[in-house]
Structure 1
């Protein structure tokens, strides 16, 4: 009887321990995602407003960047990469893989689809609008190409093979954020790029939040998010690029041996941890050079370099100019060659 009681008590203790581990894992995953989302950089390549009447079809080619589609109103269907048709409805958000064509169709009384030609594409106030003049649109969509990345070498959606599809509600106000981004492009005021990037980042974060509650979790499709142990180490690199990381310390953070960590990290990212870390450090240094007047030595130290000369060599390799020249170029309003 005593042995049985001990066994039952042991089982209850194991259950409590397993439960504690599970809760800790969930908290850790949330912390990792918070770090990743905080450091995620958005670059808006283009935004398009699509106004498709009944009985029309729009065909779009490819671009080497992920795309976002959000249906403001109306119903139709979309085929991505010559795949099966998916129904379009208001507040449906789709992230399309890079280099993937798509077609949108809207049914009508004739049953025959006329192709919207390039003659119907109009550039207006910095925004491309696709539609038929004097025709009432049935489907209104905001589409855009963008890059979402960590540093220069890791893109969140670059390896996406299938579209991400999530249904939102009007109360989520995704349409308002995208409309505001369109308005920013039209206004062409100071800080336009930062504002449009911030608005689109809010949409991406809303998508991540929705995915965490959805039965169709799209996060499992991304290699940098599927291996929780590697994600933990990468999130630490992203959150603290200037820290004294080593392969051994990162392996310890992941709870792996050095060899297992190196193999799994390289398989996911296609590069070694130290190469990815260097890219993250260079991006932090570039931002600090742009937004502060800190001496080069301080920027180097914050990026994890004890030697100014080694930092300058690494920065020159990444951006093809010395840090001081980069700062001056950005001060003069010249483009950032490294992004």
Structure 2
């Protein structure tokens, strides 16, 4: 099967869910901290100039028409550079009746960003967003497909009609699909896992990990789920995902732990157990090495 056929098959089975949108408006030179969301976050810049800043990676420049998908549990902030007026009201662009967040700074110039929380799934598995490690960005003015979808999305949000929720989901899926295929065509290693999903055997093992990362998986059990020998499974998984199966599972467990720490108030020891760690101390060491802070510090940051 050709690469584009593999990608078509996978992208055709994507599913997306969006929580209510909000408008973030920044007046003058200022920063709006958005914290981290247990799911992914989609941002669309309606007006203004600035950047999206992260704790541990380079910032992304923002300008009108920029669409950015931020992975789950990534702390980020909107930063308005100020300057010229955008021509949009501070907090109610285009008459949108949405939840509003406002930050004020010195000087003039507004930046207005439409934001939503997303979950991305595949074949009835909604942990797929855990595979996204780096933000995806697209200037919709360079893509007729994305530009039309965003314009239609704005119309749906501004003029409520029957089937509005369903239409918004379809239009968002168009936007995210376009972002993914642009990165696939650019051979971005951050999204190469998409083609690997087309391997039926590997998918069975991957789905077992996504559905229940805390289960007592082993190389033997995952190979059995894939219908392969241990050596064959390890070789094919390494080639497809760029990492060994058990190392991948460890990353997935820590990503899921970050979501649970953000969403729940259960004891850290219990969360460690839920994601497959036998002891809190082992979990704390692994989480700290991965995230740069202890589970407790990470959770405390969710409350600030």
TM tier, smaller: 0.5 to 0.7
Residue 53 of structure 2 contacts residue 59 of structure 2 at CA under 8 Å; is this kept in 1? yes
What aligned pairs does 1:324-335 form with structure 2 within 5 A after superposition? Answer: none
Matched residue SS, 1:61: coil
Tell me the TM-score normalised to structure 2 length: 0.56
SS in 1 for 2:44: strand
Residue 127 (structure 1) aligned with residue 98 (structure 2):
yes
Q: What are the Cα deviations for residues 29-72 of structure 1, in whole angstroms up to 9, with x where unaligned?
A: 22222111111111112322333233232221222111112223
- 1:37 alignment partner, one of 11, 16, 21: 11
Number of the residue aligned with 1:3: none
Structure 2 partner of 1:193:
165
Does 1:164 pair with 2:136? yes
Q: In 2 relative to 1, CA 261–201 (structure 1 residues): closer, same or farther, beyond 3 Å?
A: farther
Query: Could you report, residue by residue, the CA deviation over 1:230-255 in whole angstroms, capped at 9, with x for unpaired residues?
Result: 63226987xxxxxxxxx99965xxxx
- 8 A Cα contact 1:74 1:89, kept in partner: yes
Alpha-carbon spacing, 1:126–1:250, altered in 2? closer, same or farther (3 Å):
farther
Q: CA deviation at 1:79?
A: 0.5
Deviations 1:156-205 (A, max 9, x none): 32233322233443552535523533443455543232211100110111
Counterpart mapping for 1:270-285 below 5 A: none
Kindly indicate whether the alpha-carbon contact (under 8 Å) linking 1:68 and 1:96 is maintained by their aligned counterparts in 2.
yes
Alignment of 1:14-93 (within 5 A): 27=2, 29-81=3-55, 83-93=57-67
Question: Which blocks of at least 5 consecutive residues in structure 1 are unaligned?
Answer: 1-23, 110-119, 238-246, 252-256, 271-339
8 Å Cα contact 1:76/1:107 also seen in 2: yes
C-alpha separation in 2, matches of 1:234 and 1:146: 28
Please give the per-residue CA displacement for 1:49-100, whole angstroms capped at 9, x wherever unaligned: 3332332322212221111122233321220246443322333332111122
How many corresponding residue pairs? 215
TM-score of the two chains, using structure 1 as the length reference = 0.51
Q: What pairs up with 1:96-245 in 2 under 5 angstroms?
A: 96-108=70-82, 127-131=98-102, 138-172=110-144, 174-185=146-157, 187-214=159-186, 216-220=188-192, 224-225=193-194, 228=196, 231-233=198-200
Local SS of the residue matching 2:61: strand
CA–CA distance in 1 between the matches of 2:162 and 2:35? 31
* Dislocated runs of 4+, deviation >6 Å: 234-237, 247-250
**Whose Rg is larger?**
1
Q: Distance in 2 between matches of 1:268 and 1:178?
A: 38
